[in-house]
Amino acid sequence: MGHSAWCPPTLPPRQRPEDDIDIAVLASGSGTNLQALIDAPAVRPHIAIVVSDNPEALSLRRAEDAGIPTAVVAWSDFGNRDSFSSALADVLEEKGAKGVVLAGFMRILAPAFLDRFPERVLNIHPSLLPAFPGAHAVENALDGGAETTGVTVHFVDEKVDHGPIVEQVAVHVETGDTTDSLHARIQVEEHRLYPRVIEAFVSGRLFIEDGEVHWL
């Protein structure tokens, strides 16, 4: 396996907008990226709540085992994306979350949700965006004959799998790779990268200013 990391350019020192940021983590599935965040000593104390749209998600059990508050906001309880997103934002704000981290959350959030957490929603995606957005990124990379794919962490905007990129790590596609084997190697990089990025975010060292990502 080969991989290389892209790092943001060196930037002049800026005044931090806030020293500490408590976060909500949203997860729909097994929660392996959530577990990586829970296992990061500098991140775990800042996780105010873990929320899922799926009451059977293993991610909820991971949070409960770590003593982190959980909640379920079920998509089926709402008639549309706007009402779902509004209810979800209410839950997060009630727990004091100032930022939102998506960790395998399979719902598209309404613009009004992003307005309530402006430039404070982060996502991790298993490709080198803008290549292969969407829910089948690993499969699409294989089907498309890509020689390299990887991981992207980015701030979320109103488009799907889009927004200012924080950092990317490349993962080589090996001969004979299947979706499962490639995804497993991508996850190794995800579990290294996401805690490092989120540690910077919760400590106020990662933010957007004038449309650009700053990492102090």
Rounded CA gap, 3 and 156, in Å? 25
In the residue annotation, 136 being an active-site residue is answered as no
User: What does 122-143 look like in DSSP terms, one character per residue?
Assistant: EEEESS-TTSS-STTHHHHHHH
Rounded CA gap, 69 and 193, in Å? 24
Catalytic entry in 125, 183, 191, 214:
125
Mark 39-52 as b/e (b = at least 16 C-beta within 10 Å). Answer: ebeebeebbbbbbb
Rounded CA gap, 66 and 44, in Å? 9
How many H-runs (helices) and E-runs (strands) does the chain carry? 6, 10
Rounded CA gap, 131 and 142, in Å? 12
Strands 70-72 and 47-52: parallel
The pair of three-digit structure tokens given for residue 100, joined into one six-digit string? 């939102």
Name the residues annotated as catalytic: 125
